[in-house]
Amino acid sequence: AAEEGFDIADVEGAIEEAGHGPLPVLAVVGRPNVGKSTLVNRIIGRREAVVEDKPGVTRDRVTYEAEWAGRRFKVVDTGGWEQDVLGIDASVAAQAEYAIEAADAVVFVVDAKVGATDTDEAVVRLLRKAGKPVVLCANKVDGPSGEADASYLWSLGLGEPHPVSALHGRGTGDMLDKVLEALPEAPAQTFGTAVGGPRRIALIGRPNVGKSSLLNKVAGEERVVVNELAGTTRDPVDELIELGGVTWKFVDTAGIRKRVHLQQGADYYASLRTAAAVEKAEVAVVLIDASESISVQDQRIVTMAVEAGRAIVVAYNKWDTLDEERRYYLEREIETELGQVAWAPRVNVSAQTGRHMEKLVPAIETALAGWETRVPTGRLNAFLGELVAAHPHPVRGGKQPRILFGTQAGTKPPRFVLFASGFIEAGYRRFIERRLREEFGFEGTPIHISVRVRE
Ligand code: GDP
Ligand code: GDP
């Protein structure tokens, strides 16, 4: 590496950074108007249309990447929901429940000026049962005179209240230091606990695509409840289901069942549930209703799974209802609307008739295999060497940037770092991704490619 002009420490640093693997998840929960969204904006360090949201506006984005003191993590923002017909306690509890379930640590935000309310107490009970590390944020302490308000929150029994002004930034740094102490390096529930355990599948898709029908079909009579979430509902959360002679864990199946009381803000809950399920899963089976046009909502759900870096299978459901004309248009729509997952294994199923149910497991296994693929450095560089010689980067400003060497820094999903002599254009990066896929498979998995340029 040194003779190519890269310092060995740079190379090692780049590989370590690119190979970070899945990030731990922090959930920010609390009542409406305590300042959750303001705090999330502070944490992610940019104003990403969180607080500007007006009530009733659908928000799809609920997870953001953040970095503090050199450590990266994800933040789940629960600020975008509305009170539903069951009243404030139930709706706060429901949204907190999803977020806590998916999280490795929780920031519980309380308005220090108001003090602890009954709703806050209800969230505290949920937090106790979940047993996740909690950092108590006493928000709206905009100056020293508010510190006394914060100290009253010791009464919640969650340990030290951290006085913070999310609005002005006061105290947020100290609080984030505590968050890092509470947050594991890697997400425990996704990777730590499950080594050798059943593989985790999230069944996702917009309402009415047939998730619950499919779950019932594959589960048959064998449905086993393995775990009950403490909280407002007694729905099973994760279910062990045997398919093709193998036991799989279907995560967050409670989210699949209908919650009839969720009227207002139902889309937001759906997004939060999807994000939570995807965080917990290794592979996402995205269900699309083949009888209807592929929608923006379908695309957003696919994007969530891709951005989370999960293995992906796309299942086109309700195949029993398709006539020839619809089939024709469906194929065109898949090409134009779902190009971002052209690499995902596809199954055409009917949860109603059971059509092609037996193809689901092989597709899932294919996607997981792609997700775990590791290309040895020698093979990768032999491939890159030939590729670059046969298809050099276009000359720009009299110079020809070149890929010098590369390595795979991580798996689940595969992450590559390429080292180059100059800026590599997006088109050439895409070309390399395409050729990597042709050469090494990677069916059913997103792949990450980062490029380091020699200074
Ligand atoms: P959410 O519903 O919990 O997400 O709350 P928001 O982040 O939307 O904040 C609710 C209101 O509280 C907004 O008007 C914010 O500007 C205000 N707010 C948030 N944090 C602070 C703070 O630290 N100090 C003060 N004074 N106001 C705040
Ligand atoms: P979910 O909201 O994604 O869980 O969707 P459901 O499983 O509740 O299904 C929504 C509707 O689609 C119900 O009326 C189902 O009977 C129907 N449905 C689900 N799968 C199929 C299928 O493969 N074929 C047909 N014809 N209808 C289906």
Q: What is the DSSP string of 355-407?
A: TTGGGHHHHHHHHHHHHH----HHHHHHHHHHHHHHSPPPPBTTB---EEEEE
Percentage helix, strand, coil for the chain under 3-state DSSP, each rounded to 5:
40, 20, 40
Q: Residue 49's pLDDT is what?
A: 42
Question: Is 55 close to ligand 1, i.e. is its CB under 6 Å away?
Answer: no
Q: Residue 257's pLDDT is what?
A: 60
The partner residues of 137 in beta bridges, in order of sequence, read 109, 162
Buried b (16+ CB within 10 A) or exposed e, 319-356: beebeeeeeeebeebbeebbeebebbbbbbbbbeeebe
Task: Give me 318's structure tokens.
Answer: 């309700």
> Looking up tokens 């006061």, which residue turns up?
170
Distance CA 158, CA 386 (A): 59
Q: Whose CA is nearest to atom 25 of ligand 1?
A: 140
Q: Whose CA is nearest to atom 24 of ligand 2?
A: 318
What is the three-state SS of 212-234? HHHHHHHHHHHCEECCECCCCCC
Q: Residue 60's pLDDT is what?
A: 52
399-448 pLDDT, tens digit per residue, is 889 999 999 999 999 999 999 999 999 999 999 999 999 999 999 999 99
68 phi and psi angles, rounded to 5 deg: -140, 135
Q: What is the CA radius of gyration of the chain?
A: 24
To test ligand 1's pocket by mutation, which of 29, 33, 82, 142 has the most ligand atoms within 8 angstroms of CB?
33
Question: Is 33 close to ligand 1, i.e. is its CB under 6 Å away?
Answer: yes
Q: Whose CA is nearest to atom 26 of ligand 1?
A: 140
118 C-alpha to center of ligand 1: Å?
A: 19
DSSP letter assigned to residue 22: S
Q: Which residues of the chain have pLDDT under 70?
A: 1-4, 19-21, 46-61, 79-91, 187-196, 221-236, 254-268, 455
199 phi and psi angles, rounded to 5 deg: -70, 150
Structural contact between residues 78 and 25, judged by C-beta atoms closer than 8 angstroms: no
> Looking up tokens 């984030």, which residue turns up?
176
Distance CA 78, CA 28 (A): 6
189-208 pLDDT, tens digit per residue, is 444 344 567 899 999 998 88
Distance CA 254, CA 19 (A): 33
> CA 215: distance to chain centroid?
21
Task: Give me 452's structure tokens.
Answer: 């380091």
212 C-alpha to center of ligand 2: Å?
A: 7
Distance CA 233, CA 110 (A): 24
Q: In what order do the strands lie in the sheet with 239-243?
A: 224-225, 239-243, 246-250, 199-204, 283-289, 311-317, 346-348
Question: Is 80 close to ligand 1, i.e. is its CB under 6 Å away?
Answer: no
Q: Where is the binding site for GTP, in residues?
A: 30-37, 77-81, 139-142, 205-212, 252-256, 317-320
Distance CA 262, CA 90 (A): 10
Q: Residue 133's pLDDT is what?
A: 94
Ligand nearest to the CA of 168: 1
Query: Which ligand 1 atom lies nearest to the CA of residue 166?
Result: 23
Q: Residue 57's pLDDT is what?
A: 40
To test ligand 1's pocket by mutation, which of 41, 78, 167, 272 has the most ligand atoms within 8 angstroms of CB?
167
